[in-house]
A and B are shown apart, each in its own frame.
Chain A
């Protein structure tokens, strides 16, 4: 499913899904802000990447969108997780944890021997 070559796209998709799971329906700006905040502002979300990524997730059926009004009465497009998206999130999160764990094991002994 996940395009393994494009790691950034893959991780961005995962972050979007996680954000939507945590906060419920949210507009593009909110998703971007949330990701930046969560990363402790280490990440800057490139909007030229964010919107195509949202579109891709929608095309794959993991999220759906509809126009709504924001807290301060602005029209905005809201994204929310679908059932398929929830499943995909579980799966990808598990895979990601596994990957990081493996990588951590690889890197740890390297440090010792150095």
Chain B
């Protein structure tokens, strides 16, 4: 307490120094007088009295100094003095200060942005109470290795896990529940989420408005309720609080709005949340399909403290073994239950990109630090005489180093502030950047952890770039600098070597970034120019949602399309129109196995399955290779025929002629409304297209008439000669006329879909790595330019002599350029070596190009060399303009 009080008083002592100085002077003065008077009383002469008193008192100034030191906090005072001096020095060199602060800000800002994405988006994305212990349960098939089998469960399974486990605090089940929401004027499909009634307590996030649901709300006979997602509330109800207590007509039932969840509660990206009784009777497969009733649920659990994931998996395994009999078909022969942290499940792929980006920004930070270090070296050596003078006047070596370091600290603080501002702006843009795949709950802002990170990073870089130049500038022998006249040539030479080394390092690091960015660019080009095997341009696609029951039969669906398709193809600009079940690039339904008479097989023959109209093949531009395509009469009669792709023939028939053979898609046997034990006759073979995503090879696929069965929704594909988006409203009108209760959902173009789903990752990688590389390059060039310009300044005298002796401008230009390009080539060689050694880490992030892609490895050094040439040329040209007379006088 006393110490604290003294500290506060001493802090106060930093202010009002003049008054306090007068005070102590007066006190010492009075002390002296009292002493003299006593001496006089003792019988001394006035002169003697004064002399003796002064001797006794000692040096008045020394007393004042030790008094002052006790009064304030000398270390702090020195520090503040250094800060204000450093600030003044920096203000006197605005160009140097601006470049140094900008370089630091870029390094710190970008690092903080990536850190925020990593920390807030990947490590701690969820606002839920026990976010770090959230665990997702899934079933693995252990027949060949461990493959994911399913991660959704029947409700009774989850209930059994919940009841029987010893390793979880609680388990929640939730699923999607897309239902029509009917309003006075319109109706639309909303993306709902059903949750078991323990969900509110499970996630531990209180609602923003109103109340959450309870066990009672899920009981049969209780009033039906609904909770709103914040974004949905904002979009649909304009943040109107009066919505509480009103009812929404969801799937023909009136549900009371009881609350609104806070902005970060984005579970499942749902628009609304609805409680579901644990004991709900399970709907049949047919009911589930026709009524869109959830049949399968995600099982998410809160791991008990101090329990390992492995223990928990073993615990669940025991229960699963007991309940296999409930749903024998939903477990593979050999299976293992798996438990994974929730955030790992969601962001596994993006994490990889992010880790590489962290490496990239670390390189960027290194470039910016060494840039500032070389700037400081130049800055300090220009002040060699000032430093020497200070040393001569009694400043100790430590004191001088401290002063120079404090100057760097001021730069560091400036860089930190500017960097945080940059990060603040950047993070606002990041939230809108496609390709940043973090959970919707994530809040990537400049929050406390990010700020602390930025501050720690600034301190670290300050030590990195500030300390060694300061140590170097205050060399061991301080006198030499004072003796030399202008710039100390020896010390500067030594400094020049360090600066050259820093430049080589910067060039090497920026080349590494350039090569990486080059690879990303090549990968992006490869993806966007990729041939999917079908037309992607001018194809409009949309799903058609059929209301339950009315359209359950194949005939009713055919009647709908028989009415709609001719009218769509009659629209001006439409060239083809087709029906399918799935969109071509989305992973459609696959049959785990197929049965082909005469072709017994042990392994599962995984085969994609699609149901289409005759227009499908011309719409996508698929080539007929053998046999015939589906005919209108096949479609009209729902004939059991199938057109297969090339891969299917190659995989299952080899060189045999597949035409006329029979094939059964085993998956149909598992879907109640689908025809069971249905064999389709192969009538034709078409060219392959990428039906399994862009990364993986095409899988065997069969196309049957869409009228083979009536269950499920359908999609339409419309190929046009004009911009397909212009036709959307007309098409919507046609489908609404043909079936007033149908809804056109997720309309878009195939190209747009590819942009959104397939190109987005390569694009994000290109942009992020490209930005790092561009900034790295710019910093390295600034560093190079600085070193060249400074070395020309140092050499002015020498160049003057050369010119006086008859050197031509070209000789001088060559001399300076050679030196600069030597540095650059050194950097490029080092950078290429580093790229060769490290390019392999990019492998998972590249598509369609080798990690040693010649384009990237040639173009990046060339680009760097060209830019570096400019950075050297400008100082070199200045060197040729040196006036020999001025140069010789220059000292």
Asked if A27 lies at the interface with its beta carbon under 8 angstroms from chain B, I say yes
Given A55-B71, A59-B9, CB of A47 within 8 Å of CB of B2: no
By secondary structure, the B interface counts as: helix
Q: Establish whether residues A59 and B58, one from each chain, have CB atoms under 8 Å apart when the complex forms.
A: no
Distance in Å from the Cβ of A20 to the closest Cβ of chain B? Answer: 16
Q: Establish whether residues B63 and A60, one from each chain, have CB atoms under 8 Å apart when the complex forms.
A: no
Q: Establish whether residues B30 and A60, one from each chain, have CB atoms under 8 Å apart when the complex forms.
A: no
Tell me the bound Cα distance from A13 to B393 in angstroms: 36
Closest to A62 in B: B2
Chain A residues near B2 (CB-CB < 8 A): 1, 60-61
Tell me the bound Cα distance from A74 to B37 in angstroms: 10
The B17-48 residues at the A interface (CB cut-off 8 A) are 24, 26-28, 30-31, 33-35, 37-38
Asked if A76 lies at the interface with its beta carbon under 8 angstroms from chain B, I say yes
Asked if B191 lies at the interface with its beta carbon under 8 angstroms from chain A, I say no
Asked if A49 lies at the interface with its beta carbon under 8 angstroms from chain B, I say yes
Tell me the bound Cα distance from A95 to B449 in angstroms: 48
Q: Establish whether residues B27 and A59, one from each chain, have CB atoms under 8 Å apart when the complex forms.
A: no
Asked if B62 lies at the interface with its beta carbon under 8 angstroms from chain A, I say yes
Closest to B31 in A: A29
Tell me the bound Cα distance from A61 to B504 in angstroms: 60
Asked if B16 lies at the interface with its beta carbon under 8 angstroms from chain A, I say no
Closest to B61 in A: A48
Asked if B246 lies at the interface with its beta carbon under 8 angstroms from chain A, I say no
Q: Establish whether residues B30 and A51, one from each chain, have CB atoms under 8 Å apart when the complex forms.
A: no
Tell me the bound Cα distance from A53 to B56 in angstroms: 18
Given A29-B35, A61-B2, CB of A48 within 8 Å of CB of B66: yes
Closest to B23 in A: A77
Q: Establish whether residues B6 and A48, one from each chain, have CB atoms under 8 Å apart when the complex forms.
A: no
Chain B residues near A1 (CB-CB < 8 A): 2
Tell me the bound Cα distance from A52 to B56 in angstroms: 17
Distance in Å from the Cβ of B20 to the closest Cβ of chain A? Answer: 10
Closest to B12 in A: A59
Q: Establish whether residues B30 and A48, one from each chain, have CB atoms under 8 Å apart when the complex forms.
A: no
Chain A residues near B3 (CB-CB < 8 A): 60
Tell me the bound Cα distance from A76 to B484 in angstroms: 55
Given A47-B63, A51-B63, A61-B2, CB of A28 within 8 Å of CB of B31: yes
Asked if B10 lies at the interface with its beta carbon under 8 angstroms from chain A, I say yes
Given A60-B2, A61-B2, CB of A48 within 8 Å of CB of B31: no
Q: Establish whether residues B57 and A47, one from each chain, have CB atoms under 8 Å apart when the complex forms.
A: yes
Asked if A83 lies at the interface with its beta carbon under 8 angstroms from chain B, I say no
Distance in Å from the Cβ of A26 to the closest Cβ of chain B? Answer: 11
Distance in Å from the Cβ of A2 to the closest Cβ of chain B? Answer: 10
Q: Establish whether residues A55 and B67, one from each chain, have CB atoms under 8 Å apart when the complex forms.
A: yes
Q: Establish whether residues B67 and A76, one from each chain, have CB atoms under 8 Å apart when the complex forms.
A: no
Q: Establish whether residues B66 and A27, one from each chain, have CB atoms under 8 Å apart when the complex forms.
A: no
Closest to A77 in B: B27
Q: Establish whether residues A29 and B6, one from each chain, have CB atoms under 8 Å apart when the complex forms.
A: no
Closest to A28 in B: B31
Given A52-B70, A59-B10, CB of A28 within 8 Å of CB of B27: yes
Chain B residues near A76 (CB-CB < 8 A): 27, 30-31, 34
Asked if A113 lies at the interface with its beta carbon under 8 angstroms from chain B, I say no
Instruction: Return the contact of B30 from the options A33, A52, A74 (Cβ within 8 A).
Output: A74
Q: Establish whether residues A59 and B5, one from each chain, have CB atoms under 8 Å apart when the complex forms.
A: yes
Instruction: Return the contact of A56 from the options B6, B37, B38 (Cβ within 8 A).
Output: B6
Chain B residues near A47 (CB-CB < 8 A): 28, 31, 56-58, 63
Chain A residues near B37 (CB-CB < 8 A): 72, 74
The A24-52 residues at the B interface (CB cut-off 8 A) are 27-30, 33, 46-49, 51-52
Closest to A46 in B: B58
Q: Establish whether residues A60 and B24, one from each chain, have CB atoms under 8 Å apart when the complex forms.
A: no
Asked if B69 lies at the interface with its beta carbon under 8 angstroms from chain A, I say yes
Q: Establish whether residues A74 and B67, one from each chain, have CB atoms under 8 Å apart when the complex forms.
A: no
Tell me the bound Cα distance from A59 to B5 in angstroms: 7
Closest to A33 in B: B38
Q: Establish whether residues A77 and B63, one from each chain, have CB atoms under 8 Å apart when the complex forms.
A: no
Instruction: Return the contact of A27 from the options B24, B34, B59, B71 (Cβ within 8 A).
Output: B34
Most chain A beta carbons < 10 A, residue from B30, B35, B37, B69: B30
Instruction: Return the contact of B67 from the options A27, A52, A61, A75 (Cβ within 8 A).
Output: A52
Given A1-B2, A46-B58, CB of A56 within 8 Å of CB of B70: yes
Tell me the bound Cα distance from A30 to B33 in angstroms: 12
Tell me the bound Cα distance from A60 to B27 in angstroms: 20
Q: Establish whether residues A48 and B10, one from each chain, have CB atoms under 8 Å apart when the complex forms.
A: no
Distance in Å from the Cβ of A12 to the closest Cβ of chain B? Answer: 13
Tell me the bound Cα distance from A46 to B55 in angstroms: 11
Contact with A along B354-374 (1 / 0, CB 8 A): 000000000000000000000
Most chain A beta carbons < 10 A, residue from B3, B27, B33, B63: B27
Distance in Å from the Cβ of A18 to the closest Cβ of chain B? Answer: 19
Instruction: Return the contact of A61 from the options B5, B24, B31, B59 (Cβ within 8 A).
Output: B5
Asked if A70 lies at the interface with its beta carbon under 8 angstroms from chain B, I say yes
Q: Establish whether residues A77 and B6, one from each chain, have CB atoms under 8 Å apart when the complex forms.
A: no
Distance in Å from the Cβ of B17 to the closest Cβ of chain A? Answer: 14
Distance in Å from the Cβ of A49 to the closest Cβ of chain B? Answer: 7
Distance in Å from the Cβ of B41 to the closest Cβ of chain A? Answer: 10
Distance in Å from the Cβ of A39 to the closest Cβ of chain B? Answer: 15
Tell me the bound Cα distance from A53 to B70 in angstroms: 8
Closest to B34 in A: A29
Q: Establish whether residues A51 and B33, one from each chain, have CB atoms under 8 Å apart when the complex forms.
A: no
Q: Establish whether residues B33 and A74, one from each chain, have CB atoms under 8 Å apart when the complex forms.
A: yes
Distance in Å from the Cβ of B26 to the closest Cβ of chain A? Answer: 8
Chain A residues near B33 (CB-CB < 8 A): 74
Q: Establish whether residues A52 and B34, one from each chain, have CB atoms under 8 Å apart when the complex forms.
A: no
Chain A residues near B62 (CB-CB < 8 A): 48
Closest to A67 in B: B26
Given A27-B34, A74-B33, CB of A51 within 8 Å of CB of B27: yes
Q: Establish whether residues B30 and A75, one from each chain, have CB atoms under 8 Å apart when the complex forms.
A: yes
Chain B residues near A60 (CB-CB < 8 A): 2-3, 5-6
Distance in Å from the Cβ of A78 to the closest Cβ of chain B? Answer: 10
Distance in Å from the Cβ of B678 to the closest Cβ of chain A? Answer: 95
Tell me the bound Cα distance from A56 to B6 in angstroms: 8
Tell me the bound Cα distance from A77 to B9 in angstroms: 19
Given A1-B2, A60-B5, A61-B5, CB of A70 within 8 Å of CB of B66: no
Given A29-B35, A61-B5, A75-B30, CB of A55 within 8 Å of CB of B70: yes
Contact with B along A62-89 (1 / 0, CB 8 A): 0000000010101111000000000000
Closest to B8 in A: A59
Chain B residues near A33 (CB-CB < 8 A): 38
Q: Establish whether residues A48 and B5, one from each chain, have CB atoms under 8 Å apart when the complex forms.
A: no
Distance in Å from the Cβ of A43 to the closest Cβ of chain B? Answer: 13
Q: Establish whether residues B58 and A48, one from each chain, have CB atoms under 8 Å apart when the complex forms.
A: yes
Distance in Å from the Cβ of A35 to the closest Cβ of chain B? Answer: 13
Tell me the bound Cα distance from A75 to B38 in angstroms: 15
Chain A residues near B5 (CB-CB < 8 A): 59-61
Closest to B32 in A: A29
The B247-271 residues at the A interface (CB cut-off 8 A) are none
Tell me the bound Cα distance from A70 to B24 in angstroms: 17
Closest to B24 in A: A51
Distance in Å from the Cβ of A114 to the closest Cβ of chain B? Answer: 40
Tell me the bound Cα distance from A87 to B57 in angstroms: 31
Tell me the bound Cα distance from A27 to B2 in angstroms: 24
Chain B residues near A77 (CB-CB < 8 A): 26-27, 30
Distance in Å from the Cβ of B49 to the closest Cβ of chain A? Answer: 14
Distance in Å from the Cβ of A57 to the closest Cβ of chain B? Answer: 10
Contact with A along B789-827 (1 / 0, CB 8 A): 000000000000000000000000000000000000000
Closest to A36 in B: B56
Instruction: Return the contact of A52 from the options B6, B9, B57, B69 (Cβ within 8 A).
Output: B69
The B59-101 residues at the A interface (CB cut-off 8 A) are 59, 62-63, 66-67, 69-71
Tell me the bound Cα distance from A51 to B2 in angstroms: 19
Instruction: Please provide the 3 A-B residue pairs with the shortest distance between their CB atoms, ordered closest to farther.
Output: A52-B70, A59-B9, A29-B34
- A and B contact pairs by CB, cutoff 8 A, 8 listed: A29-B30, A29-B35, A51-B67, A52-B67, A59-B10, A60-B5, A75-B26, A76-B31
Not counting A33-B38, A51-B63, a sample of 6 additional A-B residue pairs whose C-beta atoms are within 8 angstroms of each other reads: A48-B59, A48-B66, A51-B67, A59-B9, A59-B10, A72-B37
